A and B are shown apart, each in its own frame.
Chain A
């Protein structure tokens, strides 16, 4: 199997020297004494990797330097300092050469660059090496990335949707946290057999789990009530079942009432306006990204004011068992300490048809 592999050699350098990212700041980071870490982490992964695979990669520290022990071919050579244009060009070449998986080593910025080219054509998997890793495409360590690649090659993984998230780096350096979901990549995971006690043992596929959740949601949604639907593929599945597949935005916050979309990709002001006239509203959201933020990352339009107006008791959180397993604790960061406190503690999260899990919620 052909695997596209690249390293963003400057990823992660900003972190140790107090920069909130490294994009466009590699020289500054080096001046501050940062040492490249991405290559080392990529080597760790490749040292572990023992799969029946052929690596398509880039020259020098963008790839080749880490794969000398593997079967490989350099399909792209960069010159000077590598930039995100090099990442994108390499991805395009990997696709052209028939790569079936794209393994990259970097952070959120790299994930975003890779995703912008690869989209959902093939699965992507990240070896974590960046300053920021909010995206859900990263393995938990270089070693576990190697394990996942092996399982993928053996056909023993399943695929799940993973948020590709990044911050506005300019704002981030001013200590303003603005997260944005750029899209949903496809990433492999190892299905864990779940003991189903007396009845059966089965791992439900991500798609199956989303369908169950959506089926239940469509059952409990009442006419005449307004539903604010958050972003993501889990919530989008509800819209699909309601027959609103084309109208609900994947990345935005929309409003539905009586089976119709009454507001699309709404911002905070529009949401507040809409709420003026509604006696009862519910918010349906799914945690976003690897850290499991219910509010405050990527959906800032669901502000403290909006949530308070709807009422904490009318917030319904939904997530697949796989996602809940990967996020031991859910997070909230609404900007209001008081509201964060109200939302913290334990929350019942719908995770299947007539099924929920109790999850701990902390303020982030």
Chain B
């Protein structure tokens, strides 16, 4: 038996257009609301910090959005990313299921993030913008944007959460290698940063503070825009390149997934990899396709959150968006899958979960890290702790297939490597990993007492 391990597409097969699921949704998204007017957000509201082309992409219901040739040119550096058959994992599990994964760790920054960073840098460059300001916590997004802006000759300013800046020196170096300018957040570079520093000079910072600094920097400089690495519709759009390539690769081997898994922080890598398949489900062509978002028990937005309008950030600077949320004041516990620590999720993903097209499941840290260990032992790749959430789900599903003798096709997006997460794996190997949980019942009880504002 000579089964293929890598299904590779030709460079010419890099998609020429992104897929916008808004064109095929049975009911439209609820619009984002401007909290000042309580009216739907207008393009002009966003113009000070985003280029108009991205604002249009945010709001359009066109099905296909052409990918500019300059962006495809950069994608060529690593795209099309390979679709792998996880034969060794299958063998280890003795499962009749076929496990496939798209490997996004081949990008220079090591994750799916540049799929949108490149596009966002490009449109900002076209808009005559000279610099992009952003925030980064763990560092994946900052790295991807530093890489993207460098390629299009833009400057990049990254506000990196202070404690992360101190403790992840190599992420910092990575961004500096790509010419980004880094500030330990809170910084003296912004009004907000100076205010926080005056109150508490020793603060380790937070993502909320870093976002506020990035937005303020963009809003107060004419030549500067802001960029976000997940949640927004245009980010989901750019990430569809993963799913489109995967679909083509599956056609090449005459397969189609029965079930798709992905990890969900803000939702972009999962949504990008599944949306072209979900389209078939929405159209009724694949009614039995199962699509499942995987999240941490410590931050179970899709499985335990409420579907309602909420702020996208703790500082209440963003529009109100309709999504599953644990509340914008909720500070997720210190889990090691830093990229999954977000109180909300992408509105597009939330809407499809709410309407029953996509399911969700939540896991504890230890079981997730154990799955990552098994993946490293069989497939070799040491994956990011975020990605490990879906690998846990995949392994469970493969074992269920074994029990039931089912030959399912399982697909997941292997979103990135864990080479900067060795500290976390070290904690796991020493048996010191804490299984945080969200006490959903007690929270529900406490919320029942709070008078409803709506």
Q: Which positions in A face B, CB cutoff 8 Å?
A: 193-202, 216, 219-220, 222, 316, 321, 324-325, 348, 350, 352-359
Contact = CB atoms under 8 A, between A and B. Distances in A.
B439 A348 contact: yes
Contact of B333 (A201, A220, A352): A352
Contacts of B342: 198
B207 A199 contact: yes
Range for the number of chain B residues in contact with chain A: 35 or more
Contacts of B341: 197-199
B364 A358 contact: yes
A325 B432 CA distance: 8
B446 to A, nearest CB: 4
Contacts of A353: 331
A312 to B, nearest CB: 14
Of A202, A352, A354, most B-chain CB atoms within 10 Å: A354
A220 B326 CA distance: 16
B161 interface: yes
A220 B161 contact: no
Given A216-B446, A219-B449, A197 B338 contact: yes
Contacts of B397: none
Contacts of B333: 196, 352, 355
Interface in B149-191: 161-164, 166-167
Contacts of A350: 439, 442
Nearest to B208: A199
A195 B439 contact: no
A196 B335 CA distance: 6
Nearest to A223: B449
Contact of B338 (A198, A354, A358): A198
B163 A200 contact: yes
Contact of B138 (A197, A222, A352): A197
Interface of B: 137-138, 161-164, 166-167, 204-208, 297-298, 326, 330-339, 341-342, 364, 423-424, 427, 434-439, 442-443, 445-446, 449
B161 to A, nearest CB: 6
10 contacts: A194-B334, A199-B161, A199-B206, A199-B208, A200-B204, A220-B446, A354-B446, A355-B436, A355-B438, A357-B434
B439 A200 contact: no
A200 B164 CA distance: 6
A200 B338 contact: no
A199 B332 contact: yes
B204 A201 contact: yes
Contacts of B334: 194-197, 199, 201
Contacts of B137: 197-199
Of A194, A197, A222, most B-chain CB atoms within 10 Å: A197
Given A201-B163, A216-B446, 17 more contacts: A193-B163, A195-B334, A196-B163, A197-B332, A197-B334, A199-B331, A199-B338, A200-B206, A201-B167, A202-B163, A202-B204, A216-B439, A222-B445, A321-B434, A350-B439, A352-B333, A356-B438
A201 B326 CA distance: 21
The 5 closest A-B pairs by CB, nearest first: A197-B338, A198-B137, A198-B338, A219-B446, A201-B163
B210 to A, nearest CB: 9
Contacts of B423: 195
A16 B347 CA distance: 66
B351 to A, nearest CB: 24
A197 B334 CA distance: 6
Nearest to B299: A197
A196 B331 CA distance: 10
Contacts of A222: 445, 449
A348 B204 CA distance: 29
B168 to A, nearest CB: 10
A67 B228 CA distance: 61
B26 to A, nearest CB: 33
Contacts of A194: 334
A196 B423 CA distance: 12
Contacts of B205: 200
Contacts of A193: 163, 167
Nearest to B207: A199
A321 B334 CA distance: 11
